Amino acid sequence: MSKLSYNLIFFIVFLCLGLRSSAFTNLNTLSFEESLSPLFGDGNLVRSPDDLSVRLLLDKYTGSGFISSNMYQHGFYSSMIKLPADYTAGVVVAFYTSNGDVFEKTHDELDIEFLGNIKGKPWRFQTNLYGNGSTHRGREERYRLWFDPSKEFHRYSILWTPHKIIFWVDDVPIREVIRSEAMGADYPAKPMSLYATIWDASDWATSGGKYKANYKYAPFVAEFKSFSLDGCSVDPIQEVPTDCSDSVDFLESQDYFSINSRQRAAMRRFRQRFMYYSYCYDTVRYPEAPPECVIVPAEKDRFKDTGRLKFGGTEARGRRRNRRQQRPEIESDPDERRRLLK
């Protein structure tokens, strides 16, 4: 079966499951001024006249970024994002939470990082989490997307509560981490800010640094809009801790806190089709899987002991087909969705 056919089937399944309808229909969206502040880049951060969107630019002089105006003790962080197009090798666009500026040696972090590519090759992305400075025990997963993220806006979200973490792409949960006692301080627990940045990571981002950023294509532009931030705003160094129980109750009452059976099926399909590295199956790095890992036999069979896809798996078959004949990717076009449902 061709790559086009696989993507088409996956896309139709998402539509039939009705995944656009529930978890993100009633978000409280904010203006830039209400929730965010410039971080770096000066003129490379361009706010829209209505202050509801912002463009982050990377040129040969600097990247750019913004930060939430507050730190949050648990929260829901979400934005519609459109990535740069054309040649983007060496470019990284990050949407993440961190407290590294406050807790330098014991920081927590939740990452969504988009990794650019050479012209004609798709963006890749990865998720990761750290707790209490556990950077040597990174918990990264890496994926492809079922659409071109430079063609239109898509919503990317991170939910963080005392009990679980969920990474979302649109209304598809792509990763869920359930807190276990065995994780101890590796589970993020201290107040974090939201960040978004674009920067030059030529030394590692594309094929391990083989392909560098080419500023003939600059400026590279990432666009953000429809910001949503829900959580308990706190001062991390205040003497009397803030009671955030009401905020946690609110987060756990929202649709994005629970994954229904249809969404769980979509998550399973996404991970089977588009995940190409998982730390849970990297037995070279972790002879014993970290405690939060849920080992799924159907997933495990696809990976080598390095946590990467076995030769001859989905990705390898796709490369062989692409050498014979270039096939178009399915794009997330609303009109196409309607046509597919007829």
The CA–CA distances, whole Å, from 199 to 61, 111, 115, 157 equal 10, 15, 10, 20
Locate 67 and state its tokens: 């930060």
Would strands 141-143 and 275-282 be described as parallel, antiparallel, or unpaired? antiparallel
- Catalytic residue list contains 109: yes
The CA–CA distances, whole Å, from 88 to 83, 93, 220 equal 9, 10, 8
The single residue of 33, 34, 104, 109 carrying the catalytic annotation is 109
Report yes or no: 188 and 131 within 8 Å, Cβ to Cβ. Answer: yes
Q: Which of 37, 9, 5, 4 is nearest to 270 (CA)?
A: 9
Distance CA 192, CA 216 (A): 36
- Catalytic residue list contains 239: no
Q: Which of 133, 125, 76, 66 is nearest to 99 (CA)?
A: 133
Distance CA 80, CA 52 (A): 11
Residue 109: CA atoms inside 13 Å, Cβ hemisphere, count? 27
List, in sequence order, every residue forming a beta bridge with 220; answer none if it has no partner.
Answer: 58
Distance CA 69, CA 272 (A): 38
The single residue of 33, 104, 113, 329 carrying the catalytic annotation is 113
Report yes or no: 144 and 122 within 8 Å, Cβ to Cβ. Answer: yes
Distance CA 90, CA 217 (A): 12
Catalytic residues: 109, 113
